[in-house]
Amino acid sequence: MSSIRILSAILLLALNFSGPAGAQATYPAKPITLVAAFAPGGATDTAARIIAKELSIELGQPVVVDNRVGAGGAIGASSVVRAAPDGYTLLLGTGSEMVVLPAVKIVPPYDTLKDFTPIAEIGTVTFVLVAHPSVAANSVQELIAQARANPGKLSFSSFGMGSTNHLLGEFFMKRSGTDLLHVPYKGSAAAATDLVSGEVKLSFDTTTVVMPLVQSGKLKALGLLSPQRSDAAPGVPTLAESGVPLSVVGWVGVVGPRGMPAPIVERLNKAINKVLAMPAIVQSFNDRGVTVVTSTPEGFGKFIQSEVAEWTEVVKDAGVKIE
């Protein structure tokens, strides 16, 4: 073989190793953007920053949280759908913008099962059915009896039409055979203010938001929507225990654009799971009402599939669609 042919072969080999496979082998080689689709200071943003700090150390590259806010989380999620599938743009997704939003939109902003690559679940969040103290019910069954005796009279608040807690109310009505009055608000602050004042009587919200109000006597907790009881709400039974076959959890996890290379997905999954095994991280999430969950990419993908199927059915039954 001539020296020219030898040199050509060497150059071809070098080009092959500097291509996608070589890039995957050295991943990550630059900072990673972790998109949070909700405002700074909120629960999603806080979770993103908890993960980003330790993940930066584990991966040896900065993980920068980028808040891309608006349209119920669709702006941030859509930006990740459009990103290159190289592992450098990720989303800290939640059930709100990943599952509920596409289900209620007449024209969904994206197809969750086709447009994202599941990487790792982070944790679950427990929802609570709470009531204003003026409600003459101290258990779920007492509430159901009162609601059936006064159809359309007991009101529940939400953060807007098609929001997660609106659909939780619809789900509860279907499973309990009741008719409640939905009162939508433009955000959580106004909804919480009117709930505490008694303008609305009920709400379905997370333990992080409502349990401090329960502990101060401003609200009373009637039932958890989770499969098991929660340390974040001591002594509060589940709806299933109370005779209502309803089990729903909120969740948060890391996803990327569709088409991400498997080696990069595995690298990120292992790094995230290692961070989630740290006692300080577990405690930090627990303090915020999040129960840490570790998973494989495949397991997380199956979980998302089940969530999409369940919430699509809820939306169909409720007849809720928004522009």
CATH number at residue 48: 3.40.190.150
pLDDT above 50 for 20: no
Report the SS3 class of residue 123. Answer: strand
Q: Which of 15-24, 72-81, 248-257 has the lowest mean pLDDT?
A: 15-24
Tell me the per-residue pLDDT of 46-81, one tens digit each, with 9 for 90 and over. 999 999 999 999 999 999 999 999 888 999 999 999
Using CA atoms, how far apart are residues 252 and 46, in angstroms rounded to an integer? 12
Considering only residues 159 and 182, tell me which one the structure prediction assigns the higher pLDDT: 182
Using CA atoms, how far apart are residues 123 and 251, in angstroms rounded to an integer? 6
What local confidence, expressed as pLDDT, does residue 121 receive?
97
Answer with the one of 190, 224, 258 that is the final residue of a domain. 224
Using CA atoms, how far apart are residues 170 and 251, in angstroms rounded to an integer? 19
Same domain, 189 and 259: no
Confidence category of residue 263, pLDDT binned at 50, 70, 90: very high
Mean pLDDT of the chain: 90
Considering only residues 225 and 322, tell me which one the structure prediction assigns the higher pLDDT: 225
Number of domains in the chain: 2
pLDDT above 60 for 162: yes
pLDDT above 80 for 102: yes
Q: Is residue 7 part of a domain?
A: no
The tokens of 129 are what?
């059915």
Q: Enter the pTM of the model.
A: 0.82
What residue numbers bound the domain in which 87 lies?
A: 14-125+250-318
Same domain, 202 and 132: yes
Same domain, 26 and 174: no
pLDDT above 50 for 18: no
Q: Is residue 242 part of a domain?
A: no
Angle between helices 262-276 and 297-318 (to 10 degrees): 90
Same domain, 30 and 120: yes
What local confidence, expressed as pLDDT, does residue 21 receive?
46
Q: Is residue 259 part of a domain?
A: yes
Q: Which of 34-43, 192-201, 209-218, 303-312 has the lowest mean pLDDT?
A: 34-43
Confidence category of residue 25, pLDDT binned at 50, 70, 90: low
Same domain, 133 and 86: no
Same domain, 50 and 104: yes
Q: Say how many C-beta atoms besides its own lie within 10 A of residue 285's C-beta.
A: 22
Confidence category of residue 8, pLDDT binned at 50, 70, 90: very low
Confidence category of residue 17, pLDDT binned at 50, 70, 90: very low
pLDDT (average), residues 197-208: 94
pLDDT (average), residues 275-279: 97
Q: Is residue 60 part of a domain?
A: yes
Give the residue ranges of DSSP H helices in 201-318: 207-215, 262-276, 279-287, 297-318
Instruction: Report how far Cα 145 is from the mean position of its chain's Cα atoms.
Output: 32
Answer with the one of 185, 209, 224 that is the final residue of a domain. 224
Tell me the per-residue pLDDT of 106-141, one tens digit each, with 9 for 90 and over. 999 999 999 999 999 999 999 999 999 999 999 999
